[in-house]
Homo-oligomer: A and B are copies of this chain.
């Protein structure tokens, strides 16, 4: 059994980790830390866990994380990098759900997250936890920086287009019109995500700039093999709880007009356990992946023209966060990639 600790765990990615890990056949949850809630049974905060998780929050001191095999950080940005070195020294692997190990350029990190990066060497070592792109590197990683929720949907939605050796679409003018459920904003008291504000309502935000923009561009330029990418990214807030839908637009280059994009996508993800390329003409629904680690993609070329429209759905808390973390953990410990992740989506 893999001994797993969680730092943080009072937010949505934390409770989702608990849901997944508590039922994982090869995991033993050994500790969960929250300085503020020391001593409180996790199930007191989240009654959904009653009868299933008996663990209580404890302080980091009591938690003895150094005895874990792996520690997940479901914390605000900046926490993981402050504790990473010590844990690694103790032989503990780290999976960070925040942004500490995502952006390779520390200046960009500082600009968007408002703090200096405290361990650039570990950042250099860290592997970006997107298994469908980085599977082999993840297997041997000590530190994983998990992708943000939006970036997962955009990168996996564009990967088949960008990894063909030569450009198939105008890579300088990609568009991602993305929509996220309110759980993406976290379990923090805030006026903007109150039911009475965000319910029965819809709007864009961060059009001027969003933290996920540099992360996505970085990831897309890995996919192109270094060719520059231009992306317009417009996130929107959906009046619902879970789910991300990214509608991606790309202009097909003249030399790529004969390509069968449906086949291209199906081939690309033929062996991906969690990525489902739907039949031509499909419109994936966010609920079709609700509470599961699947990501579904549909490829459209309206009117047979030069604009590709790629529809991508994922559950922002699973494939966009906790589930992807467990998927990485499985790879890091030599387990079947799908272990503990075989939840069938919940509909209706």
Listed in ascending order, the chain A residues whose CB lies under 8 Å from chain B are 12, 15, 19, 22-23, 46-52, 173, 175, 177, 179, 181-183, 185, 187-191, 193-205, 207-209, 230, 232-234, 236, 238-243, 245, 247, 249, 251, 273, 276, 278, 281-292, 294, 296, 300, 302-303, 305-307, 309, 311, 313, 317, 342-348
Contacts and interface: CB of A to CB of B under 8 A. Distances in A.
Contact of A198 (B175, B195, B208): B195
Contact of A207 (B48, B296, B300): B300
A50 B207 contact: no
Closest 10 CB pairs between A and B?
A48-B345, A189-B189, A203-B285, A182-B195, A177-B177, A201-B287, A196-B348, A183-B196, A47-B288, A195-B195
Contacts of A311: 203-204, 207
A241 B195 contact: yes
Nearest to A182: B195
Contacts of A243: 200-202
A309 B234 CA distance: 9
B241 A199 contact: yes
B196 A199 contact: no
A282 to B, nearest CB: 8
Contact of A202 (B12, B234, B240): B240
B196 A187 contact: yes
A187 B19 CA distance: 28
A281 B208 contact: yes
Given A19-B346, A187-B191, A283-B203, A196 B47 contact: no
